Amino acid sequence: MLETVNPLYLSIINIFNLKLNRIMQDFDKKLKELWDGFNDEFQKFKNGNQAAGTRARGFLQDIKKVAQEARTAIQEKKKVAQEARAAMQEKKKKK
C-alpha cells in the first residue's frame, strides 16, 4: 500500500521548483548577455584599449554574482527536499 505524501511538503517542493526554474531561466539569459559583453570588451582590450579591460573585469564580477545566485537557489532546493524526506521518514517511524 502506498503512503500518501503530505500535501504541505509537496507544495513547498513545488514552490522551490518554480523558483529554481525561474532563476535558471534568468541565469541562462543573463549569463549569455554578460558573456557577450565580456567577450566584446575583452577583444577591445586585446587590441590595446586599456579601459575595456576594466569593463571586462566588471562583466566577470557580474557573472560571478549571477552564478552565486544560481548556486544558492540550487542549494535551497536540495535542503528543502532533504527536509521533506526526513519528515516523511520520521512520519513512517511513528506509525
CATH of 7-94, one of 1.10.287, 1.10.3470, 1.10.1660, 1.10.8: 1.10.287
pLDDT at 95: 63
Query: What pLDDT, on a 0 to 100 scale, did the predictor assign at position 90?
Result: 77
Q: Which residue has the higher pLDDT, 34 or 4?
A: 34
Question: What is this structure's pTM?
Answer: 0.66
pLDDT one-digit tens code per residue, 16-70: 777 777 777 888 888 899 999 999 999 999 999 999 999 999 999 999 998 898 8
Question: DSSP code of 49?
Answer: -
| Residue-level pLDDT at 3 | 52
**For the chain, which residues make up each domain, given as ranges?**
7-94
How far apart CA 64 and CA 69 sit, in angstroms, is 9
Q: Which residues contact 90 (CB under 8 A, 6 or more apart)?
A: none
